[in-house]
Amino acid sequence: EPEVTQTPSHQVTQMGQEVILRCVPISNHLYFYWYRQILGQKVEFLVSFYNNEISEKSEIFDDQFSVERPDGSNFTLKIRSTKLEDSAMYFCASSASYVSEQFFGPGTRLTVL
Amino acid sequence: QQQVKQSPQSLIVQKGGISIINCAYENTAFDYFPWYQQFPGKGPALLIAIRPDVSEKKEGRFTISFNKSAKQFSLHIMDSQPGDSATYFCAASMDSSASKIIFGSGTRLSIRP
């Protein structure tokens, strides 16, 4: 069964460093998303991406964040200068259309020290 | 307006019992209400979903009850099993917003053998 994959599973970084979280969406999907979940809290929407453009972003997704689809398979989330409060589980998701089920990856746990 | 409120925060049910999780929303523009199941170390997975044109949807042991006038919906798990032990999130989205999903705060369900 096709699935969304994410790498790395755990990333530890120092405050102020740049991190790139990687996702490989399901191959025939066209819509891509990033969500985050701070430990013990709810899952929060960050950004949606379609046709090489951001469709929508939340207030969390400020200038420190960017997304990119550098090739036909990867979808990345970059945090330019990490802060302690960026520590969270980051989930990538993809869907075939904007009304289809979103399939979530297993997540990347980001720890900012 | 964008929030989805979920209760209880945690729930313990005996094997074979009925698990009930409740959610409420404010924004009447929401038109899709999914429930997600999340096991430790995994991403959320779609369990069952409903649109506001029906009052109930059943899939196996899982039933969503939807009350449009009260802006409330609930998940019922019949004959609860230890394998159902997980965190459950209710959610809502609008087709017009590239399917940004707004999650509830989650319910940690434990089924006692």
pLDDT tens string A21-75: 999 999 989 999 999 999 888 899 999 999 999 999 999 999 999 999 988 789 9
What token pair was written down for B105?
Answer: 């705060």
Distance from C-alpha of A98 to C-alpha of A37, rounded to nearest angstrom: 22
Decide if B103 and A43 are in contact by the 8 Å CB cutoff. yes
| Percentage, residues of chain A above pLDDT 70 | 100
Main-chain phi, psi angles of B49, to 5 degrees: -145, 160
Write down the pLDDT at residue A72. 77
Write down the pLDDT at residue B1. 64
CA distance A22 to chain B (A): 15
A112 with A21: CB under 8 angstroms? no
| A58 touching B (Cβ < 8 Å) | yes
pLDDT in tens, chain B (113 residues): 678 999 999 999 999 999 999 999 999 989 889 999 999 888 999 999 998 899 999 999 999 999 999 999 999 999 999 999 999 999 998 865 547 899 999 999 999 99
Write down the pLDDT at residue A112. 97
Distance from C-alpha of A80 to C-alpha of A63, rounded to nearest angstrom: 8
Residue A88 has pLDDT above 70, yes or no: yes
Q: What is the DSSP string of A45-106?
A: EEEEEETTEEEEE-TT--TTEEEE--SSS-EEEEESS--GGG-EEEEEEEESSTTSPPEE--
| Element housing B66 (H / E) | strand B62-67
Which residues of chain B does A33 touch, with a Cβ-Cβ cutoff of 8 Å? 99-100
Residue of chain B with shortest Cα separation from A50:
B98
Write down the pLDDT at residue A34. 97
Residue of chain B with shortest Cα separation from A90:
B43
Write down the pLDDT at residue B96. 53
Cα separation values, B22 from B61, B77, B85, Å: 17, 12, 17
Sort B2 into a burial class: Cβ within 10 Å, 0-12 / 13-18 / 19+.
middle
Rg (CA), chain B: 13
Average of per-residue pLDDT across A88-113: 92
Cα separation values, B76 from A63, A65, B57, B90, Å: 41, 38, 10, 12
* Closest CB from B49, B98, B104 relative to A55: B98
| B94 touching A (Cβ < 8 Å) | no
Distance from C-alpha of B43 to C-alpha of B45, rounded to nearest angstrom: 6
